[in-house]
Amino acid sequence: MTSRIGIDVGGTNTDAVVLDDGDRIVARAKRPTSPDVTEGLRQALTAVLDELGERAGEVRRVMLGTTHATNAILERRALGRVAAIRLGAPATTSIPPLTGWPADLRNAVAAGTALVRGGNFVDGRAIAPLDTDAIRRFLHGTPADAVAVTGVFSPAGDEQEKRVAEIVKEELGDTVTVSLSHEIGSLGLVERENATVLNAALYGVARDVTAALRQVLAERGLDVEPFFAQNDGTLMAVDYAARYPVLTIGSGPANSLRGAAFLSGVSDAIVADVGGTSTDLGVLVGGFPRESAAAVEIGGVTTNFRMPDILAIALGGGTVVGDGVGPRSVGYRITAEALAFGGRTPTMTDAAVAAGRGRVGTHPVAASEALARAVRIADEMVSDAVDRVALGKADRPLIAVGGGAFLLPARVPGASEVVRPGHADVANAVGAAIALASGRFDTIAPAGAGRSAAIERAKEEAAARAVAAGADPVKVEIVELAEVPLSYLPEPAVRVHVKAAGPLQQ
């Protein structure tokens, strides 16, 4: 027998589960998330290993979904110094690199910026020949931990960015790591550049988490392979995650969606993850989270890498019932403050208990008009949110997961049924444990002749990236292919987005 561990670091709790060969849950633990994240991770991991006892030796893999990267950016802590190079002059000079960044984040991250001649037009012509001398001079005058390279229209033509990676290697050897924007994000220069610079700043954080995880495993005498969860609900092998740490941001909601799919056996559904202060709603399409096209702001910086399309509403187990419902929550103090735990603050947990939806707590809760009204308001909030994320399709089930799943009613308008799988309170950790490895690729293709060939190339690139992330080359499949027509262009063109995924190589 072999087994694997899934860990998800959440805002409140760090959850860990162990799955055996047959995908059965054989151990589970919930520990408070520590301010440094690593200690809570160690606690949760230690707890499941203790529970496994002698069978701990059967663990072969650890899959980790963590907030280390997000926290590092939000707290401006442990970030690397980045030399940011943009290839685009004489174009793009009206918005130089890192414009609009909060000053403290910019100070923490920027070793220097350069806007050199290079980049492409939309039709593939070069804006200017790559100014390799300027790049070499900049690299020597700008000591940094990492280099971020962003070329105009690089998602449609990556040669210049790759050339710069070679130059960095020629000049500085392997001492610094290079982030190339075409590997990080899609069209939208400023947003892609921001994501690329953040990625470069996170290399050290990725190394530290990997080292911490390996240390805990070594202390237990375990020789296992770590993987990191990324924001589309799939996994990355350690050396891949080391190159794309920014992709770990947003892995929590993605894990919870994937875990819900696995636990319920339903691959097309709406998922509601009910926590202490909020409920996250997302949509599963073919077992994967539906992604948002909107720009994502991280630590005050706008980025454009794809994230799960999540609608959060202020409704959770700790949400305070007053004249209305929320948005205030007692949060982790629920076990002291809620009526069901002998406290004095009426919460949504109490309202659900009074309505007979669950048996929670240590004290009985008397029914009241205020609590009954709160349940009606909350049900309305949920059905309204379900309708918003469902985009008009009312025939899919709603999978209820998270510690507060019992808050949800037995029937929700807009959903065919409400499914409540077992182990729903650790769905996120389960999601990390069962994930596939994936690769994504975004490009622009002509809409007429050449379209098919361009799409085939995009599929090959996505599949190659999935294999690099750890997928079995024989079992990789294209799981998503989207074409969006571009307006106002002389030659009709489409934006192509491809995603490939497959099980981890044995």
Partner 1 sequence: MQASRFITLDDIAPLARGCAVLGTGGGGDVRSGALAAGRAIGEHGEVPLVTLSDLQPDALVVPLSGIGAPTVSHEMIHAAEEPGRIAEEIERIFGRPPTAIMSSEIGGGNGVAPVTWAASLGLPLLDADGMGRAFPEVQMVSMYVAGLPAGLLIMTDVVGNVTTIRPVDGLWAEQIARAVCVAAGSSALMADYVLTAEQARGAVIEGTVSRAMAIGRATEDAADPLGALVAELAATRLIGGKITDVDRRTTGGFVRGTVTVEGVGADRGRTLSLEIQNENLVALEDGLVRAMVPDLITVVDTQAATAVQTEGLRYGQRVTVLAWPCDPLWRTPAGLATAGPRAFGYDLDYIPVEDLS
- Footprint of partner 1 on this chain (CB under 8 A)? 88-96, 99-100, 119, 121-123, 125, 127-128, 152-153, 187-190, 302, 387-392, 485-490, 492, 495
Backbone dihedral region of 486: left (phi > 0), alpha (psi from -120 to 50 degrees) or beta? beta
For partner 1, which is the closer residue by CB, 88 or 259? Answer: 88
Closer to partner 1 at the Cβ: 53 or 488? 488
| Least distance between partner 1 and beta carbon 230 (Å) | 24
* Owner of token pair 């596939």: 436
* Shortest distance in whole angstroms from residue 125 CB to partner 1: 7
Q: How far is the CB of 187 from partner 1 (least distance, A)?
A: 5
Least Cβ distance, residue 282 to partner 1 (angstroms): 14
Beta carbons within 10 angstroms of residue 125's beta carbon: 9
Tell the smallest beta-carbon distance from residue 120 to partner 1 (Å): 9
Packing angle of the helix pair 203-219, 68-75 (nearest 10 deg)? 130
What is the SS3 assignment for 36? Answer: coil
* Smallest gap from residue 491 Cβ to partner 1 (A): 9
Rg for the chain (alpha carbons), in Å? 24
Distance, CA of 173 to CA of 86 (rounded, Å) = 21
Q: Which is nearer to partner 1, 122 or 481 (CB)?
A: 122
Residue with tokens 């802590």: 77
Q: Are 302 and 191 in contact (CB under 8 A)?
A: yes
Between residues 128 and 216, which has the closer beta carbon with respect to partner 1? 128
CA distances for 409 relative to 84, 283, 361, 375, 443, angstroms = 51, 19, 19, 9, 43
Cβ contacts of 280 within 8 Å, gap of 6 or more = 253, 256, 272, 273, 310, 311, 312
> Judged by CB, which is closer to partner 1: 50, or 104?
104
Supply the minimum distance, in Å, between the C-beta of residue 109 and partner 1. Answer: 18
> Closest separation between CB of residue 490 and partner 1, Å?
4
Tokens of 342: 């002998």
Q: What is the largest CA-CA distance in the chain?
A: 77
Joined tokens for residue 115: 């806007």
Find the DSSP H helices in 202-323: 203-219, 238-243, 251-264
In the bound state with partner 1, the residue whose beta carbon lies nearer, of 310 and 353, is: 310
CA 242 – CA 78 distance, rounded (Å):
15
Identity of the residue, 119 or 502, whose beta carbon is nearer to partner 1 in the bound complex: 119
Residue (96 or 322) nearer to partner 1, CB: 96
